[in-house]
Amino acid sequence: MTERVAGLDAPATDRRRRLLRLAGPRGIVAGLAIDHRDSLATVLERHGRPATTTAELRALKLRLARALAPAATAVMLDEELGGLALDEGVVPGSVGLVMPLEAQGYEAAGDGRTTSLMDDFGPSEALARGADACKLLVPYRSDDERSAERQDGVIRMAAAACHAVGLPLIVEPLVYRWSTERPDAYGARYPDLVLGAVRRIRPLGVDLLKLPFPVLDPAAQGDSAALDACRELDAACAGTPWVLLGAGAETAVFVEQVRLAGSAGASGFLAGRGIWGAAVGGDLDAAERIASTACRADLVHCRQAAERHARPLSAATA
């Protein structure tokens, strides 16, 4: 018989306990995403670094994690390229670990994209690695019933697999533009597309949502309109906790987004290349030096903003 605790079954309480490990002492998530795989090559190209070997990418992630993980409350790392960092123990035990479930290739997919789960790595393997949660990225268009239904099925499958081993699932909907869609038309629809994705995904077994800032150009709309959009997003989450993703935003911009999202009910952030991107243009020693100084300062700045304005995860999951 399943043990009952305070009206919840033991697996649910186990998931909540693990989810809360992603937050720091103040209950706020200041997470660092270094789980990029095929998309990492794109980041490197943008910073003027040529393609590198798998061994070099693993070494790069080791350096980034060693420099930055101690300043975070949680780190997202994959097994394929991030496994070396885990083997070397550079993520402190006090820092939560999140591992991805989606297979590579989503960035190259076209219209009507469908996420595939990895064949050789799943929640059981993540649990064995010491993960506190798994993450699933899903390209999503709520206005396309056929692709949305397929993505819903993938989310349900991932949630069931995670919950079977007591791990919470973080879902990251990636709203994208159709190949035939004008940028201005997409920009106008973007807030509704984000809300539509959240409303469909939230009831599918999701424990935490990792969400984009709900307007594409907050500077043009002003703080008041952006804050209203964040509040509408929080309402769409309907009690499911959420954190802000970075989307590569510069630190000054992202700090303002963290402030607005946190004021509306977000429980912090999980950000990646906007934090560590500046470190990857040179050799490994330079990468670790820059990550340990400028990038770490940026992470601390973002964390301080989140801790001032965000809603504690413990309150969001109560």
Q: What residues form DSSP beta bridges with 175?
A: 140
| pLDDT for res 275 | 95
Any alpha helices (H) in the chain, and if so which ranges? 10-20, 38-46, 54-68, 83-87, 123-128, 145-164, 183-201, 218-221, 223-237, 251-264, 273-276, 284-290, 296-309, 313-316
Sequence spans of domains, the chain = 28-316
As a whole number of angstroms, the distance between CA 255 and CA 257 comes to 5
- Structure-derived torsion over alpha carbons of residues 192, 198, 200, 205, reported in degrees to the nearest 10: 180
Do residues 313 and 29 lie in contact, with contact meaning Cβ atoms separated by under 8 Å?
yes
Do residues 205 and 159 lie in contact, with contact meaning Cβ atoms separated by under 8 Å?
yes
* 210: helix, strand or coil: strand
- Give which of 291, 188, 302, 199 is closest to 244, Cα–Cα: 302
Do residues 167 and 97 lie in contact, with contact meaning Cβ atoms separated by under 8 Å?
no
Do residues 31 and 271 lie in contact, with contact meaning Cβ atoms separated by under 8 Å?
yes
**Can you give the pLDDT of all 318 residues of the chain as single tens digits?**
233 233 345 578 889 999 999 999 999 999 999 998 776 777 777 766 766 788 989 999 999 999 999 999 999 999 999 999 999 999 999 999 999 999 986 555 567 788 999 999 999 999 999 999 999 999 999 999 999 999 999 999 999 999 999 999 999 999 999 999 999 999 999 999 999 999 999 999 999 999 999 998 877 778 899 999 999 999 999 999 999 999 989 999 999 999 999 999 999 999 999 999 999 888 899 999 999 999 999 999 999 999 999 999 988 766
| pLDDT for res 11 | 73
Do residues 20 and 313 lie in contact, with contact meaning Cβ atoms separated by under 8 Å?
yes
Residue 168 makes CB contacts below 8 A (sequence gap 6+) with 15, 16, 18, 19, 132, 133, 134, 162, 207, 208
Please spell the DSSP secondary structure of 18-40, one letter per residue.
HHHTTS-TTS-EEEEEE--SHHH
Pairing, β 8-9 against β 4-5: antiparallel
Q: Largest alpha-carbon pair distance within the chain?
A: 58
| pLDDT for res 110 | 64
- Structure-derived torsion over alpha carbons of residues 69, 26, 242, 269, reported in degrees to the nearest 10: -40
As a whole number of angstroms, the distance between CA 306 and CA 312 comes to 10
Question: How many residues does the structure list for the chain?
Answer: 318
| pLDDT for res 239 | 94
Q: What residues form DSSP beta bridges with 82?
A: none
- Region of residue 150 (left: phi > 0; alpha: psi -120 to 50; beta: else): alpha
* Paired tokens of 306: 């989140």
Question: Measured in Å, how far apart are the chain's first and last C-alpha atoms?
Answer: 25
Topology annotation, domain 28-316: TIM Barrel (3.20.20)
Task: Assign 3-class secondary structure to 295-313.
Answer: HHHHHHHHHHHHHHHCCCH
